Every structure is written in structure tokens, then in C-alpha cells.
A and B are shown apart, each in its own frame.
Chain A
């Protein structure tokens, strides 16, 4: 009945150092147990409601990210986990790093930290749940992201 009682998440690793990824997986394992919120990790974007993104975007993976985002059905929520996904983090000046995930897809919630603790990630997921419910009530649809966009910043 209620979407927020059983959200399925898809975990997308963009440009991450694995630090956030293993903490996202640690959230799903018995000690932190995200499944008590009904969260299930799912491999395919077509069945997912919440997209958990770790790591910044670079010139090679930007279209992979957009492609996955476009395949998730509405309503959908994007959760940026870690400093890299939020702003580019420690690597924001690297030549191959474009920046945070929000430069190409709309992000609903951010979890700061390098890397964030599992409690913080769970907090972000719970925040995403209420956003998901609001989007469903208001019938808010995510817009289709064009694969060939102007993601290269003007100062590059």
C-alpha cells in the first residue's frame, strides 16, 4: 500500500574509492540492518525506487549514470552518499573529475562525510523515504536527462 514501507534501492558506484560502497553494503548487513525499513538492495534500475550514488562523476561514467537514472520508474529519489558524490570531495580538482552528481542529475538528499558512517547513511535513506512518499502524493515526476548534455563545466 505505502511505497515508503518497501522501497527498493539500487547502488550505483560512479567514481568512488570503495570506502562509501562498503559502508553502503554494511548498512544492509545484520548489524545496521537497513531491511528493517523495508529496504531491499536490487541489481536492476527498472525495479528500484531509491538510487544511492557514491563517488563523483567523470567523463567516462557520466552517461552510465544518466542511463541508469532514466531507467528508474517514477517516483524516484536520488541519494548522494559521501563527500565525492555531493561535491566532488577531495578529488574535485582532478583533471578527470567533473564534480558532484548533482551537476547532471537532480539529487534529493545528501549524506556528507569521507566516508559517512553507516548510521549517517541510514539517516539519509530514512530522509529519502519521506521525500519518496511526498513525490508519490504530489505525482512529481523526474525529468528525462538527455544523454548528450553539456556536463563539461565552462572553465574546463
Chain B
């Protein structure tokens, strides 16, 4: 005899509407039926009416949390259509803003996760530290959330000496603060009781389910687009993929905490190697042909496919986002989990529903 419990679309731990119908046997989940579409806007169709420069701003509004990397990936894919050589300084500024974006996204997630298992002051702590990153992003780009730093052919704003000093100063204070919260997430007895051994995915299963990002790397697969894809800068900056072996909620948390340090290292290296010169290159004409671009967002790999037809509007824009790849893993890991642990398991894939449904 099973009971069906609706989880969402309006639920206290979910910041976004997603509906999971949980089939319960007593207290244990035996089946899951997800239902999507509450945030579907139809953006891939909407770009028909916008030219390729305006589409940048549409792409940044696919998701407010990873907006910088959406914009960067779109502009890089359109530059592939034009075979444009982007100035090196622009690429470095993109990396710096993209990694700052990742730091703020991971801190945001750690806070929501802490709230998920009832550590409210830890949630406030994470979000307080996140504000310092947002302050820097606001000074660099002019906005707290939607940055609009990347445009087709380069970046829209340059980094001045003041900006660089501000970033370095912020990183110096942020690093010990992250060490503080890391202690709780990694060593705390209660947190470990709630997360260790919960919703385990083996290395093979995570790979075959097609998961992406920290969900994939938490199961021991060393796959990170920053290391494997043809965006060379990350290799020059000495990027190393973060991997954890166990595949449970605890190791997915550890991956994200370690990625914070990795991002901080990348930003420092990028600033020390920041070349001088132009920040944009002029782009003329209309896009033709097709191109694919992959980058690593905070939640995993995002793939942009663009097709131009020689007019100012793109013929097709197709986006495959990381949460879309990670939702099937919920169907594999949730059966066998107790109802009280469902919010934690759902949060560990870092669901971004507005990315998924667009």
C-alpha cells in the first residue's frame, strides 16, 4: 500500500517551482514522478524576433544565478560563427567574472543547503560572505545579479587598477571565511549524520545517467569542461578538476567547497597574467553556419548550439543546461530515501529550474 505525496511546486525549501510526486511506502520513497514546465517561457523561440546582439541579454536572463556564464557561452558561440579573434584581455576578464560568478553561486548553494538541514545561522553566514562577492561584481559590471559583461566581440567594460585591487582584497578576506564555513560542512557531526551515505551514486551510474557538474564529479568522474574543452585559458591558469569518490550528498558538498578554492586560485592567476590591450574587436556582417560551445557553469556543463542564416536574426538557438541532465539522477537516487531527507537530496543536485525550462 503506497501513498502519493506531492512535493512542490510551492515548497519551503525549493526556491523554484518544480513538482515531484513522491510514492511512499510508510516513510520511504519508492517512486518519483517529476513534472516540469512551471517556469517555461519559450526563449528559444523568442530569439526569432531579436538580432544576435540583443540575444545576449535574453540569454543572460535564462537564469539569474549563472547569468554571466550564460552570456559568455552565447557570445563565444556566436564568435565561432564569425571566426572572430577576441582580444586576450577580454577573454581573461570573462574568466575573472565567470569565476566570481561561480564563487557567488556556490556560496548561495551552500547557504540554501544549510537551510535545508536546519542550520539557519550557517545559512546567514554563507549569504553574508556572498555579499562581498556581489559588491565586487557590482563595482566591475554595474549590476549585482545580471552582469552583462560579455558582448559579441569582447567585453563591455574594462578592469581598472582599482577593480583589481578590490578583487584581490576581497579574495584575501573571503578565503579564511570559507575555511570557517568549510569546517562545519565537512567536520560537523550533525551535518555528516544527515549527508554521509545518503543517495549514493556509483561512478558508473553517474556517468551512464548523463549527470553533469558537481553531481558527476562527486561520484569520482574527473570530467570538467574547463579542463577538456577548447577554451585554452583555463589550462594556462593551472586549473585542476576537483573530484570526490564517494558519490553521496557529503561528497557533492565537498566538491563544491573545494571548487570555491579552485575558483579563487583561478581568479588570482588570471589577474597576475592579465595582458594589456584592447577589450573588443569589431564584428561586421551577419552570422552564417553553425557552431557549438561548451562551458562549465556552477551546476555543470552547458552546451549552446547556434545556427545563423545570413540575416541579423539567428535561425536556431538550442541550449542544453546542466540541471536538465541532473534531474534524471533524482529518479535513480531518491528511491530508498526517507521522506525527511528528500529536500537534502533534491538540493544536492543544485536544481536550477529556470535554466532547465527556459
Chain A residues close to B by CB (< 8 Å): 11-23, 25-26, 29-31, 43-45, 55-56, 58, 60-61, 64, 68, 90-91, 93-97, 114-115, 117
Contacts and interface: CB of A to CB of B under 8 A. Distances in A.
Given A18-B15, A19-B61, A68 B10 contact: yes
Nearest to B37: A60
Nearest to B8: A64
B261 interface: no
B313 to A, nearest CB: 14
B146 A61 contact: no
A143 to B, nearest CB: 21
Interface residues of B, number: 39
Nearest to A56: B41
Interface string B19-55: 0000000000000000001111111011001000000
Nearest to A24: B15
A31 B127 CA distance: 9
Minimum-distance CB pairs A-B, first 8: A19-B64, A43-B12, A18-B64, A29-B127, A96-B42, A94-B42, A19-B145, A61-B38
Interface in B306-358: 352, 354
A19 B42 contact: no
B131 A26 contact: yes
B145 A23 contact: yes
A44 B42 CA distance: 30
B128 A60 contact: no
B15 A13 contact: yes
Contacts of A20: 64
Contacts of B61: 17, 19, 90-91, 114
Given A13-B17, A16-B39, A68-B10, A93 B46 contact: yes
B145 A94 contact: no
Contacts of A93: 46, 49
B344 to A, nearest CB: 16
Nearest to A16: B354
Interface string B123-142: 11001100100100000000
B290 to A, nearest CB: 24
A115 B127 CA distance: 18
B246 interface: no
B46 A115 contact: no
Given A19-B146, A115-B146, A26 B127 contact: yes
B87 interface: no
Given A16-B39, A60-B40, A95-B45, A90 B63 contact: no
Interface of B: 9-13, 15-17, 37-43, 45-46, 49, 57-58, 61-65, 67, 108, 111, 123-124, 127-128, 131, 134, 144-146, 352, 354
Nearest to B15: A21
A96 B39 CA distance: 9
Contacts of B145: 19, 22-23, 115
A26 B124 CA distance: 9
A18 B352 contact: yes
A19 B146 CA distance: 7
A15 B124 contact: no
Contact of A94 (B17, B38, B46, B123): B46
A115 B46 CA distance: 20
Contacts of A19: 61, 64-65, 67, 145-146
Contacts of B131: 26, 29, 31
Contacts of B111: 29
Given A68-B10, A90-B58, A90-B61, A25 B38 contact: no
A58 B123 CA distance: 31
Contacts of B63: 17-18
A117 B143 CA distance: 9
A30 B16 CA distance: 22
Nearest to A95: B42
A11 B17 CA distance: 11
7 contacts: A15-B39, A17-B64, A19-B61, A29-B131, A43-B11, A61-B39, A115-B145
A18 B354 contact: yes
A25 B127 contact: yes
A91 B354 contact: no
Contacts of A90: 57-58, 61
A90 B37 CA distance: 19
Contact of A18 (B10, B43, B65): B65
A17 B60 CA distance: 9
Nearest to A15: B39
A22 B41 contact: no
